[in-house]
Copies of this chain bind each other. A is one copy, B any other.
Amino acid sequence: MNVEFINPFLSSLVNVLSTMANTTIVPGQPRIKKDEVARGDVSGLIGMVSPQTKGSFSITFEESLAVEIMFRMLGERPKGITADVTDMVGEITNMVTGGAKRILGEKGYDFTMATPVVVSGKNHTISHKSEGAKILMPFDSDFGKVHIEVSFDK
């Protein structure tokens, strides 16, 4: 997988959570994901297609952080992973990939995104089935962790 693809998602997520939810997150060290366990309770997934490659992006929030972001964006504190929270995670998935798409477009990669799907459940697993490595990027915040995963065929 092209390592140029990693930073656009990282910087887009930092930017989206800062501007939309006034939430600061601190990136940890990206690494290759070898297992299938999702690092949290609710995940947004989206497929991405370009003439050069295709792949998938996912973002997984711990429940505590998802609830806090919901509170900061909408002023209401949901009781757990409600349908409103999965809607919000779907929107964040769209915004992060939209930001990454703009940056990747400047590098000559013209991606089209499918629509997001949001998955939740304690101890759910996620396996990206593209041909490339699965890159896992951890982020920490005062309210819990968020992880993103990207995997592309080339």
Contact = CB atoms under 8 A, between A and B. Distances in A.
Contact of A120 (B48, B125, B129): B125
A121 B81 CA distance: 16
Counting contact residues on chain A (CB < 8 A from B), the size range is 35 or more
Interface stretch (A49-57, A71-79, A137-145): A49-57
Most-contacted residue by chain B among A93, A124, A127 (CB, 10 A): A127
Contacts of A43: 119
A20 interface: no
A86 B35 CA distance: 12
Per CB-CB distance, the 8 closest pairs between chain A and chain B, nearest first, are A47-B114, A47-B47, A90-B129, A121-B124, A115-B130, A121-B121, A118-B127, A116-B129
Interface of A: 36, 43, 45-49, 54-56, 58, 81, 83, 86-87, 90-91, 93-94, 112-131, 151-153
21 contacts: A36-B83, A36-B86, A36-B120, A45-B45, A45-B117, A47-B48, A47-B56, A54-B112, A55-B115, A83-B127, A86-B125, A87-B127, A87-B129, A93-B129, A112-B112, A115-B129, A115-B153, A117-B127, A118-B126, A118-B127, A121-B122
